Structure 1
Amino acid sequence: MSNSSGVSRGDRNRNARLVRLRVLVPLSSAIVGIDLADNKQVVVVTDHDSKVLARRTFRCRAWDLGIALDWAAERATAKGFAGVTVACEPTGHRWRVLGQLAADRSMPFVCVQPMQTSWARRSEDLTFDKTDDKDAILIARLTAQLRCYVPEPVEETWGRLRHLGTRRERLIGEAVSQVQQMRDLLECVWPAALETANYPFRSRTWAAAMWVVVDRDNADFTRTRRLGLARFETAVRREITNRGGHKPCLRIVRKLFAALNNPTGVIAHRRGALERVQLLLEDWAENQRKLADTEARMTAVLDELELTALVTSISGISAVGAAAILAETGDPRRFSTARALVKHAGLAPREKLSGTFTGRTKLTGQGRPRLRLNAWRAVWGALQTNTAYAARYRHLTTRETNKLTPTQAQTAIAAAILRHMHAVITSGVAWDPVIATHGTRHHAANTKAA
């Protein structure tokens, strides 16, 4: 179908965004640009031509900036403006405080990306000068040009999910670090222990048996060997029960007991290194407990938002995985399109076209890194159980034209997961594999034929 107006879908979305921003940055209002810092806040009031109407430095904390907003409103009124629009960079937690102060005074509030400010600073006078006064003016100038955005609205439940998601990421990072430290130590002083299981750190039996060796016997292999295999199995079985399990894998237990006689490794460092392993195992177990508690809280928030049934209708997506993604996106309904959400994650392709030249298409890599990471993690489970995603992956990696590498295909599936989550949440309709594979038009045609 031809587009008689000559306006593309991207043009319409861009025009709609500019309309929304113009409501918040009307020509009848002055612009208050604020460069936030710890206890020094530079405030400038400008018109839409970036002419400075007033400037002042406030020696106060961010939560005391109410006096600065009142001062800026008085200066704007004195110059004939009907109101003010407050703008700043999203610096730490301070921009949230400023947004709340602006909302209390019914002042529109927008944010400017620090990257935009950095580019504008270089183009200002072709130098790398950076001062608080200059940054405040640049923030106001970019706002006047509508090169700003509306920050995510503050909502209690979604905000709680965001904080829990941040805690989960920290705990996962600590768990990975602890595992790597234990692996490095064991490779140095007792490498045979790592060969007793295919994936030792995923095995509850291996962890329990290692705990018996390094905690009960203080890494004294002679004492552990005196136990004998039968009593060693009993001790491991008792530890498994304490950890909430039922019975150990005796094959791993016997292999680890046999490894006590293996002399490979730096013997002189063995006792001290295994003492560190014991401490790391203790920290790791506590970390796993905290991680399980955090994930349970996240799924409870998902239930509170009444989204669990919708997001888990996507085959291969668990409630925890969906909660981790939504902790980074916030409410997906704030994105006008699914593609906007994909761009927010930095998973949208970046085209390079000029005349007859076509460059190599790559991902933008912008947006929220943790959102990309959580979407990437969701791919692995989805490809195992979701037939639509698995078929899409096979097609992308085996087609004759423009065949993708496995990593590129997995990235495409990650973007598809974000689009489908946006679709099911905004529409309130469960995921349909037919629509996911063929689109809504094919589904509507089949329904009409039936």
Structure 2
Amino acid sequence: MKFKSQARQNQLIEKITAEHLVIGIDIAQQTHVARAVNFRGIVVGNPLSFSNDEDGFHNLLQWVQRLQTAHHLTAAIVGMEPTGHYWLNVSRWLSERQFEVVLVNPHLVKKNKENRDNTPSKSDKKDALVIADMVKNGYYSIARTTPEAFTELRVLLSNRDFVVKRVVSAKNQIHRWVDVVFPELRQVFKNLMGVGSLATLRLFPTPAELSELQPQDLIQRWKSLMKRHCGERKARALIALAGRSVGSRQAEQAYKLHLKQLLAEYDLACAQLKDVEREIVSVLERIPFAKSMLAVKGISAISLAGILGEAGDLSGFVHGNALLRHAGLNLAEASSGKWTGQMKISKRGRSRLRRFIFMMTMSLVMNNPEFQAMHAYNVNVKKMKKMRSIMKLCGKLARILVGMARTGQAYIPQKTRPLQQAA
């Protein structure tokens, strides 16, 4: 089945009828601004500023009802920018009252702000009118309500990204601490975040404490934290290096406190990361088609959860190309007359969804035999550059995932092989 984006655009335009009141809302943290037009784009009524609370939302509802009564309109559609998290409450409140809520791309709002007055001026009232005009012209997307499991995945993945940043930050600061206080530790432990290295830092934070020990004393203390200690050879090397360390010997108490806090932050972040990933796996078990996707070699629970959390229920996409457009991985061409520009990905979509699709594709190319064969065929036979082949396989992956979600079928390796091999 061919996916035609223009057909979708026509459907969005046809939804706006002569009976519609088209409302644009400029979202802010505390006070939103609403403007209204009819299906032809003629401004209806005065602007409305309303607060981001229950009273403000009721003011908006009464304003809409007055305009509908005054102009004999029976339907309403509300458009807004997905600005941060401030749009979520008003969107949910309106949806619960049977209003059709749609979203417009902030980038397009910026591009279209000169359509009315041919000036680059910007204000909340003007932005709300620009949003209403865009909805009237069909430049919007439906705000889909997703099942709770997919919303949970999105929240959990956002939480995981934050925790991973903390883990990486703690690791980097521990590396810096070692470079300043005890740089010789790297000669004994190649991996500073390994069990032996961390146990040494917990027990003996400074070289001065290590240099006063005997090898058997060090080994005995290691046993309190490790089931299998590092051995006498490393113990002797550590003590010898600590005795002639070139690390800083000033402010030892301050450095010891700093290291104690860094290790506590690292331990806490690692524990939280395990909790989040455990919860992600449990949520995936509640999604019917996730089990068959996880059975595909090269697809991990985290990457799949990232795609499902950002895109929602994949069975709601009519084609894999729709998922690519949602992620901003669709191709964009720039050409004019005899000049043909370079094809590039549009990047007009969800950046985190792009990241997870790309990461999953790379994992499949490294671990999945069918994707390895397709990548080799693209590079060796079709003479594609490696990155172009990867981006093409992103499209293949999107079509596979959407197909599996819509049909409920398991992964069929034979369908993904290059035509020459399949024959």
Task: Tell me the TM-score normalized by structure 1.
Answer: 0.83
Q: Distance in 2 between matches of 1:99 and 1:410?
A: 37
**1:432 maps to 2:412:** yes
Q: Distance in 2 between matches of 1:285 and 1:252?
A: 28
Paired residues for 1:236-275 under 5 Å = 236-240=222-226, 246-248=227-229, 250=231, 254=235, 256=238, 259-268=241-250, 272-275=254-257
| Cα shift at 1:186 | 2.1
Matching residue of 2:49: 58
Q: 2:23 aligns with which of 7, 32, 36?
A: 32
Q: Distance in 1 between matches of 2:403 and 2:212?
A: 62
1:273-322, CA deviations, whole angstroms, 9 ceiling, x for partnerless residues?
45423311210111010011001111111001234422212212222332
Q: Distance in 2 between matches of 1:226 and 1:339?
A: 66
Q: 1:194 aligns with which of 186, 208, 221?
A: 186
Q: Number of residues paired by the alignment?
A: 421
After superposition, the Cα gap between the structure-2 partners of 1:422 and 1:191, relative to the gap in structure 1 and judged at 3 Å, is farther
Q: Distance in 1 between matches of 2:412 and 2:230?
A: 40
Matching residue of 2:121: 129
Matching residue of 1:311: 293
My pick for the range that moved more, 411-420 or 277-286, is: 411-420
Matching residue of 1:297: 279
After superposition, the Cα gap between the structure-2 partners of 1:361 and 1:210, relative to the gap in structure 1 and judged at 3 Å, is farther
Q: Distance in 1 between matches of 2:27 and 2:382?
A: 54
Paired residues for 1:138-157 under 5 Å = 138-157=130-149
Matching residue of 1:340: 322
Q: Distance in 1 between matches of 2:278 and 2:402?
A: 23
After superposition, the Cα gap between the structure-2 partners of 1:133 and 1:400, relative to the gap in structure 1 and judged at 3 Å, is closer
My pick for the range that moved more, 347-356 or 70-79, is: 347-356
Give the letter for the 1:312 counterpart. Answer: L
Report SS of the residue matched to 2:79. strand
> 5+ residue gaps in structure 1?
1-7, 241-245
Give the letter for the 2:298 counterpart. Answer: G
Give the letter for the 1:99 counterpart. Answer: S
Give the letter for the 1:289 counterpart. Answer: A
Task: Tell me the TM-score normalized by structure 2.
Answer: 0.88
Matching residue of 2:306: 324
Q: Distance in 1 between matches of 2:373 and 2:256?
A: 47
Matching residue of 2:221: 235
Matching residue of 1:224: 210
Q: Distance in 1 between matches of 2:214 and 2:300?
A: 43
Mapped contact 1:205–1:252 kept (Cα < 8 A): no
After superposition, the Cα gap between the structure-2 partners of 1:141 and 1:382, relative to the gap in structure 1 and judged at 3 Å, is same
After superposition, the Cα gap between the structure-2 partners of 1:194 and 1:394, relative to the gap in structure 1 and judged at 3 Å, is farther
Q: 1:368 aligns with which of 330, 341, 350?
A: 350
My pick for the range that moved more, 101-110 or 187-196, is: 187-196
After superposition, the Cα gap between the structure-2 partners of 1:362 and 1:387, relative to the gap in structure 1 and judged at 3 Å, is same
Matching residue of 1:403: 385
Higher helix share: 1
Q: 1:212 aligns with which of 193, 197, 203?
A: 203
After superposition, the Cα gap between the structure-2 partners of 1:260 and 1:142, relative to the gap in structure 1 and judged at 3 Å, is same
| Cα shift at 1:269 | 5.9
Report SS of the residue matched to 1:265. coil
After superposition, the Cα gap between the structure-2 partners of 1:437 and 1:29, relative to the gap in structure 1 and judged at 3 Å, is same
Q: Distance in 2 between matches of 1:336 and 1:390?
A: 27
Report SS of the residue matched to 2:250. helix
